[in-house]
Structure formats: C-alpha cells, structure tokens
Amino acid sequence: MAAPYIVTISSEKGGVGKTTLATNLAIYLKALHEDLSVTLLSFDNHFSVDQMFRLKRKETPKGDVSDLFTGASPNELIETGEYGVQFIPSCNRLSMMRRDLDDPAALARALAKSTLDGIVIIDTRPDLDIFTQNALYASDRVIVPVKDAPSMDNCRHIYDFFDAHGLSRKPLRILPCLVDGRIHFDGPFRDPYQLLKAYAINRGYRCMEGYIAKSPKVESLNTNPEGKIYPVLTHGRHTEVHVQMTHVARQIYLNSIDTDQRRLEEYLAEMVHAEQEHQSAYEKRRSNLQPGCLVCGKPLVDKEVIGPAGYFAQSSDLRVSGYLEEECFNSLVFRHFYGAKRTIEAHDPIWDLFRETAQRSYFLLQRAPHTRNFYQQKLSFYRFDDNGLEVSHKTIELQEFEKRLLSKERSDLYPLLERTLFDAQGRLGDAFLLLRKVSSDLPEEILFDQNFASFSAVMAKASTQLP
Ligand SMILES: Nc1ncnc2c1ncn2[C@@H]1O[C@H](COP(=O)(O)OP(=O)(O)O)[C@@H](O)[C@H]1O
Ligand SMILES: [Mg+2]
C-alpha cells in the first residue's frame, strides 16, 4: 500500500484560519472523492476537530494524538467521524510532553509504520514547537495561511526549519487567507490578495492558486446557539469561500496523485540507507580489530565471536584497536600502577572494587610529557570518568621494564605497548591508548554506532586534557 500524502497547515500566527482550513479541507476532499481515505489530526490544544467530527455515543477513545509519540500505531487511534472523515482525537496535555520530545522525525516514523493511505491533514498550533516540527518533517505539502504582512514575515522560520533539516522546500506553499474583498488599493496591486501574492513572490515563496476570502458567513459557522462548528460545505455553500475551498481541495488532490515519491517513502528510503551506513561502519570497525588479546595475544576475535574480553582499546591515531582479557588488564594495572608487591588472590575484595569502578571509567596510557628521549621514557596511566574528565593519573619509568626484560622477567606491559603505542624502534610516539570496560555478554556492543560515538567523544575530550 502506498504511503499517505501528508498535508500540514502551519503558521506561527494565530487566527489566520488554519483550523478552519484544515477541517474544511478534509470535508471537501472527501466530497470530491468519496473513496479517498482522509484522516485529520490536530496538535492544537482546542478540540475543534473532535467537536466537528465525532459521531454521537462513541465509546471512550483508544487514545489521542499524544500516543503517536509514545509508540502507538496511528491505525489504532483512528476514529471514523462525520462526513466519512477519519480523525485522531485531540489532546490537551501536549504542552507537558513538549519538554521530553526532541526528535522531529518521530511522527514520520509512526506514520510510515502504519497502513494509513489517502491523505492525512495535520492542523498545528501557532508555534514552531516540536509537534509542529514533527508535522513539517513528515509533510508532502505545507500550506502556510497568511493574512497580512506580519504573518508573511513569520513564514521565514518555517523555511529555516526546512533548510536546517536538509529538507527540500518544494512542499511549502503560501495561501492568502481571510482576504477582505472590500479593500481596494490604487496602483499595481488592486487588493490585499494581489499585494500578499506579490510579497510572497518577492520573498521567493511559492503560493497555492487562489486564496480564501474573509466571509462573515464563514465566521458565524462556529458561533451558534447549538455550540457546534459547521462546515462551509454544508452551511456556507453560497459563499465564495465554498468555491475557494473546492479549488484548494482539488489542487491538493491533484498534487497527491502527481507525486512520484511521497515524503514518507522518501523518509523510509533514508532510514534504510542510514541503517546500511551504520552496518557498514560497524563492519569496518569489526574488521579492523586485532585478532588476539592486546596483552597476552590469546585469540579473542574471529569471524563469528568476540571474547571472552574484558576491555576494548583503541589508539588515538586509530592505527590499532582490539580487546584485552579482563585478567590481563587488571593484573597489569595492579602490578605496574597500583604497586602491588604480591600477587593478589582471586577472591581478594580489591578485585571487586576495581571491577566496579572500572565499569564507570576510561583508562588511558600515554608517554609522560617531556620524556621523548629513548633512555628516559616514562609512561602515564590515567583514569577518566564517564564524561571524559580526569580522575587520577600516575607515571612510571619504562626503563625498569627493559631491565626486567633483560633479566628475563616477563612483562605484560611490554607486549601491550609493542602492539599499540611503540614504533618500530620501541619508542613511544605521541598517540595514546584509550581503554573501556566492555560487557562480557556482548563485547562488540561498544562497536555499535551510539556506543562507539561515546567512546570517540571521550577520546576527543581526554586528548584536550592531556599535557
Ligand atoms: N474565511 C473566513 N472568513 C471569516 N472568518 C474566518 C474565516 N476563516 C476562519 N475564520 C474565523 O477566524 C478565526 C480564526 O480562525 P481559525 O481557523 O481558528 O484560525 P487559527 O487556527 O489559525 O487560529 C475564527 O473565529 C474563525 O471562525
Ligand atoms: Mg487553530
């Protein structure tokens, strides 16, 4: 099934006729094409949509527009209303949710997963809040009603939103609304419509054909003793607004059958592409891994599995990345940096303490400052917290190890440095090695996009704090 064609009515100005246009457009589309599925929803905090379309004696609604942002499927929320128009009930708690939402693509995702088709019309608040942004992001067509020069100036923010998100400006259309036919000007622009259109064109904005006139009859349709909101189609047939609404609806319908690829389809294609990029970035990281433990060399990484590994490490020059066994790294740290003279027994509580703090730490090895000379190489060992801020550091002489090496005492630090930071002459370069504890169940988790981005962010932040 084809994705629905999404039309958003948006303007940062209130009282320009958004809700009137959105609700009537739904009815006119349905009148033009009985078989067309038309779904309406509003992010405004009044209940015009529900008032106008809800059939009497409905059981309690299954949800409302806020549920589109909490994982509900649009299909489950839809109610069939008057005139055959479907709608999703409105919600007056949106302002409370606003703080917690920051993804403008959430609605596009929800709609793309649904089996909705036909045309979806979205009414918005006079605000570029996160709900309006979500509507704009998902739209094939955005109608911006303008009634005067100030409301035209406000359009700029909508255009800026499209530019900022790399969206094509093609969906955007100005529609002069509440145009007062009694006003006439001398000069080239005879009336407010001509003038608004000229303003729009002058600013590089494209317009819908025609306009919506200001009509006392239309204004009276939501002020009556019954407290109802009547459609122009049924109660204002003799107004020019009736003809104008018909014309707008016809344009929207023709646009909808004329698009090669609808916005939601484009969005889905973007998602698939992004997913492929993630996958290939992951695979690249995976294939760059050293096969063995960076300390003892024991095989840890093969085609299928990684582990058992305790730590992930990458050099800041990105030449080396791989895993270390937990034991290897822990005992290396104790031996060389925490100065443990004796071997620590497996059940010693100090291990647990270290393991526990390691979960929340990044470790870093780098040549100590001002020790470029081969014979006085020193190595610094840092601990950073989760936010990449230094917690502690300690520096040791590396020559010690050479002596030990000569005296045939086996060192575990040497092979680690050889595999990561030493150059061909056994000298420490400028790069550092950053290490992070990994989950024993899924050591490759750290290579996933978001986790790896955090690791890289700490790497960048740590490097700014090193001497
Ligand atoms: N074509 C029109 N002629 C006269 N009054 C209109 C027209 N369209 C809307 N109105 C009136 O203008 C006011 C604001 O309209 P509304 O659709 O609620 O605007 P918005 O949603 O932009 O705030 C309402 O009182 C409405 O009845
Ligand atoms: Mg409104």
Domains and CATH numbers, the chain: 5-271 (3.40.50.300), 288-465 (no CATH)
Which pLDDT belongs to residue 191?
Answer: 86
> How remote is the CA of residue 364 from the centroid of ligand 2, in Å?
56
Identify the residues whose C-beta falls under 6 Å from ligand 1: 14-20, 126, 178, 212, 214-215, 218-219, 222, 241
What's the mean pLDDT when you consider all of the chain?
91
Per-chain residues with Cβ under 5 A from ion ligand 2: 18-19, 44
Which pLDDT belongs to residue 184?
Answer: 86
The model's pLDDT over 14-50, given as tens digits with 9 standing for 90+, comes to: 999 999 999 999 999 999 999 999 999 999 988 999 9
Residue nearest to atom 1 of ligand 1 (CA): 214
Say which ligand is closest to the CA of 23.
1
| Three-class DSSP labels, the chain | CCCCEEEEECCCCCCCCHHHHHHHHHHHHHHHCCCCCEEEEECCCCCHHHHHHCCCCCCCCCCCHHHHHCCCCHHHHCEECHHHCEECCCCCCHHHHHHHCCCCCHHHHHHHHCCCCCEEEEECCCCCCHHHHHHHHHCCEEEEEECCHHHHHHHHHHHHHHHHCCCCCCCEEEEECCECCCCCCCCCCCCHHHHHHHHHHHCCCCECCCCCECCHHHHHCCCCCCCCCCCHHHHCCCCHHHHHHHHHHHHHHHHHHHCCCCHHHHHHHHHHHHHHHHHHHHHHHHHCECCECCCCCCECECCCCECCCCEEEEECCCCCEEEECHHHHHHHHHHHCCCCCCCCCCCCHHHHHHHHHHCCEEEEEEECCCCCCHHHCEEEEEEEECCCCEEEEEEEECHHHHHHHHCCCCCCHHHHHHHHCECCCCCECCCCEEEEECCCCCHHHHHCHHHHHHHHHHHHHHHHHCC
The model's pLDDT over 314-368, given as tens digits with 9 standing for 90+, comes to: 999 999 999 999 999 998 888 888 766 666 677 778 888 888 889 999 999 999 8
Ligand 1 atom with least separation from CA of 221: 27
Residue nearest to atom 27 of ligand 1 (CA): 219
Residue nearest to atom 9 of ligand 1 (CA): 17
Pocket test for ligand 1, best of 219, 224, 241 (most atoms within 8 A of CB): 219
Say which ligand is closest to the CA of 13.
1
> How remote is the CA of residue 13 from the centroid of ligand 2, in Å?
10
Residue nearest to atom 6 of ligand 1 (CA): 219
Pocket test for ligand 1, best of 13, 20, 49, 221 (most atoms within 8 A of CB): 20
The model's pLDDT over 121-177, given as tens digits with 9 standing for 90+, comes to: 999 999 999 999 999 999 999 999 999 888 888 899 999 999 999 999 999 999 999
